[in-house]
Structure 1
């Protein structure tokens, strides 16, 4: 069906006429359908014949129609937007989790409003919630890896559907996280099974919940196996910090295996061991955590713990939208399993 011009305005109309906001009624007249049909197409409702839907969409595009989200929110009680409070995009875990949240929210017809918080403090979190309230969102996902919610310093606003990612929050909140402890256990157990007497560890930054959990998994696995627990080497997630730790560990005669708390620090270790004349894995084995896409291209390819970021993002969106839709969600932590990816950076210890 060809579309004919109506009094809604078109390319040849005077500027004043074109400036008037195109209404749903304008689209309905142009497409030759009811305003109710336009509303159903605009809101993605099923039950509209494909040919009619295409006709309405073509009219929307021709007229430059933009749905009034504020009016729709008043009518349906939802903005179809999820706010995300995020402390940093610098780490692979945060950026890939955010990517997964965006993808799964889009599948559900929701947009994402991102509020970065430079410094993870009580005032920073509460200020982020205030900004999200001004921007009108239906729910909030908080991605934090610091001890904040468990310290009784921050109480999230009552009545706002909230899911927390990777935090030591208590049972007041719905929490989704990778099983950090079990991932570390898999890494250390692999190295012990290869015959290494013990495993050294390069941890993440102080105050990081994620780093703490991975260090806990490392330590408890060694203790349960009756193996000595070496002193921690401290890093900050960066390859440079892994490099500095590697220069020191290369001078430890008993260091034949290292578990790095993420793949970037493992990359720094590989460089440091190479510069110190240590061959990986002949002289020292290295395991990382995250399984970033580049880890298979390290020299040698890195054995690492795989995190299912897509599943973490899916569960975050699913749980927060259940709350939006007034479906029951029990507070507590849901852990997404990890798996060990074996590559070429680990081997039996030198004779």
Structure 2
């Protein structure tokens, strides 16, 4: 990659998607640099030092072949967006406590290790992408990050319980799947803007909480855990496109307040529906399960087993299997 000697005049430089290769040169002489985008190239080597670029607000080096560690950005007090995802970076994620204007940090799909640092001083943080690394330890509390809208921590080795997100009123997307999380699923009733919640492939246990207040929810995946107990109704979640409950311990459904679990009229948008095995209480209808895109194994003493012949729904009785 060529050197740039534009001195104080260089403020914005976008060289993304132009098949650049080689190392990233130093920009230490470009003291008025505000935004630098070198994403989606074939750049390699280490990330250079940007400590003299005090005006730097946006740095995007994602989708390259960069190696080494994440450098210290503590002197870049104006930094707002830092995208380093899809590289080969190693080592720990450094502290960004001095970058109080930071709104986006993306370091997903690298080879980073260690624990998630404290972001309590990054009160303007909105998007945090740490997925597909080798991160360990507990998920910290994000109670001070009241503007947090997207949190992606999937495909790591994180452990412990899911922290309380009840004060993160702006949260829209939360992906904690493919980790080693334990404990119960907390209530998300105060997260009324929540659109996507992925918690699959962990070791979560206990009952499934009520999501009736999450009326903007389009994707809920809690499959491949150890959840059990009575299921809530999802009939109020009319925007649901994906609902995955399968591969847990046996669920039961007791028709609370005579509500359907899901229904053709209320859940019209449901495209991907994998419910797994559910035991229905006697007298509790499961005709609401008869949605074209649903996969479910119903265990029931109900008499209305003829519904099973309408769609691909299997009904397990003590002796017979009807498909």
TM range (shorter): under 0.3
Greater strand share, structure number = 2
Greater helix share, structure number = 1
Higher relative contact order (CA 8 A, sep 6+): 1
Answer with 1 or 2: which has the greater Rg: 1
Structure 2 length-normalised TM: 0.26
